[in-house]
């Protein structure tokens, strides 16, 4: 049995594991990352809040896509992996939409 906090907070796996650093997985590949980062656990001990989180992310994504207009400034090359990876970054401009003017 794997205890996710034991992995997530292990200083042998992550330098300064208590600091917020979303770049810590950059360049490691999605297969390596999935073995080390398990935010909801898995199997019989899957977090009960995982479905709630998916609902919340759907709501946030809905508002980001309907209330704002996104314009690409530069970047956007996509690398084929199990997830979406922008190896050179993606710079965007986000502008709130005024639906009354449309």
Model confidence over 33-92: pLDDT tens digits? 556 667 777 777 788 888 899 999 999 999 999 999 999 998 888 887 767 778 888 899
Model confidence over 7-48: pLDDT tens digits? 778 888 778 888 888 787 777 666 555 566 677 777 777 888
Output the pLDDT for position 93.
94
Give the pair of three-digit tokens for residue 57: 């992310």
CB 85 within 8 A of CB 79: yes
47 annotated as a binding-site residue: yes
Can you tell me the distance from the alpha carbon of 41 to that of 100, in angstroms, rounded to the nearest whole number?
Answer: 44
Can you tell me the distance from the alpha carbon of 53 to that of 57, in angstroms, rounded to the nearest whole number?
Answer: 6
CB 37 within 8 A of CB 5: no
What is the domain partition of the chain in residue ranges?
Answer: 1-48
């Amino acid at each position: 049995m794997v205890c996710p906090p034991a992995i997530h907070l292990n200083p042998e796996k992550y330098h300064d594991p208590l600091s917020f650093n979303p770049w810590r997985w950059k360049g490691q590949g999605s297969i390596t990352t999935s073995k080390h980062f398990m935010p909801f656990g898995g199997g019989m001990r899957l977090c009960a809040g995982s479905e709630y989180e998916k609902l919340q992310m759907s709501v946030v994504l809905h508002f980001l896509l309907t209330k704002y207009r996104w314009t690409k400034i530069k970047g956007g090359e996509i690398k084929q992996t199990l997830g979406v990876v922008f190896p050179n970054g993606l710079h965007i401009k986000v502008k709130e939409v005024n639906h009354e003017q449309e």
